[in-house]
């Protein structure tokens, strides 16, 4: 949103268009846009006060960037201390112009994380009504378990696409199924590489998705989203697009359930071989 160059009215209109499509969750992080995007979104919420009750705000904290917006940060690092999480929540609430965050995620694993301190901080924020639910982003299964045993989490935000399938092999998606956590998926179209990359693997995957799209009379993007949605973890892809047309392509995947053999055709194209 920081790069879109939109005025407040355009931001309000985009949010309303997303809501009209049934998209009601908006994913943020304090660092996005050089610590500016939360405030841009908050301006839209303030301009149209009725929007807040119709949507869910997700945001993330824990990454400290060296930037003029945060002059006290001396080195890029991760921080999950009570003081930092609490300060980030207060800053996000001010920027977003809201009284609560629906879901707060720890953005990256912190090697110095004290799980008891984090969960105590989460509990205090929930008790104060400032954060309703908690999760993690880009954590390993063991790192998530350290927190989930102490205070139930609601999601794990991970990268997953037909070109980035590590979560299928490393136990991340298995854990989500086991714990009943619906994973949020960032970069579901591999940052556009599904359409633009010219390496052999991308060409294979693009060909398999094109066949799937043609067979179901949908776009290749819709086929890619449907492939992700087919997993029993019930993933929630993040579109990351300013184009309402692209968001509509993602929503269209909700009406397409591909069968297992078609799913494995795409898997095979990505791996370059049959299942073992």
List, by residue number, the catalytic residues: 32
Confidence at 119, pLDDT banded by 50, 70, 90: very high
Structural fold of domain 154-276: TIM Barrel (3.20.20)
β-pairing, 63-64 vs 77-78, is: antiparallel
Give me the pLDDT at residue 14, please. Answer: 98
- Rounded to 10 degrees, what is the CA torsion of 80, 84, 88, 89? 80
> Once rounded to an integer, what is the mean pLDDT over residues 130-141?
98
Q: Where are the domains of the chain?
A: 154-276
Quick: pLDDT tens for 143-168: 999 999 999 999 999 999 999 999 99
C-alpha span between 257 and 273 (Å, rounded): 24
Cβ distance 15 to 43 under 8 Å?
no
Give me the pLDDT at residue 271, please. Answer: 97
Query: What are the φ and ψ backbone dihedral angles of 186, each rounded to 5 degrees?
Result: -95, 150
Quick: pLDDT tens for 75-90: 999 999 999 999 999 9
Instruction: Dig out the tokens for 48 from the structure.
Output: 């149209």
Quick: pLDDT tens for 162-217: 999 999 999 999 999 999 999 999 999 999 999 999 999 999 999 999 999 999 99
> Once rounded to an integer, what is the mean pLDDT over residues 249-255?
98
Give me the pLDDT at residue 231, please. Answer: 98
Q: Percentage of the chain with pLDDT > 90?
A: 100
CA distances from 218 to 49, 150, 209, 236, 250 (A): 36, 44, 10, 19, 11
């Amino acid at each position: 949103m920081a790069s879109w160059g939109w005025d407040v009215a355009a931001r309000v209109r985009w949010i309303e268009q997303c809501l009209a499509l049934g998209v009601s969750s908006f994913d943020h992080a304090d660092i996005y846009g050089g610590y500016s995007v939360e405030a841009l979104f908050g301006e839209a919420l303030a301009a149209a006060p009725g929007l807040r009750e119709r949507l869910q705000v997700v945001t993330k904290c824990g990454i400290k960037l060296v930037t003029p917006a945060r002059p006290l940060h001396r080195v890029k690092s991760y921080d999950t201390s009570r003081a930092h999480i609490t300060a980030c929540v207060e800053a996000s609430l001010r920027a977003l112009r809201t009284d609560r965050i629906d879901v707060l995620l720890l953005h990256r694993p912190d090697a110095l994380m004290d799980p008891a301190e984090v969960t105590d901080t989460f509990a205090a924020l929930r008790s104060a009504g400032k954060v309703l639910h908690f999760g993690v982003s880009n954590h390993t299964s063991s790192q998530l378990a350290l927190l989930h045993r102490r205070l139930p989490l609601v999601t794990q935000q991970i990268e997953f696409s037909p070109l980035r399938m590590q979560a299928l092999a490393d136990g991340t998606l298995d854990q989500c199924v086991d714990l009943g956590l619906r994973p949020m998926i960032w970069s579901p179209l591999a940052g556009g590489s599904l359409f633009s990359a010219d390496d052999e693997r991308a060409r294979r995957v693009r060909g398999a998705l094109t066949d799937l799209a043609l067979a179901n009379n949908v776009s290749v993007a819709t086929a890619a989203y449907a492939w992700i949605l087919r997993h029993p973890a019930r993933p929630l892809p993040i579109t990351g697009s300013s184009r309402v047309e692209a968001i509509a392509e993602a929503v269209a995947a909700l009406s397409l359930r591909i069968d297992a053999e078609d799913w494995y055709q795409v898997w095979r194209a990505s791996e370059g071989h049959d299942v073992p």
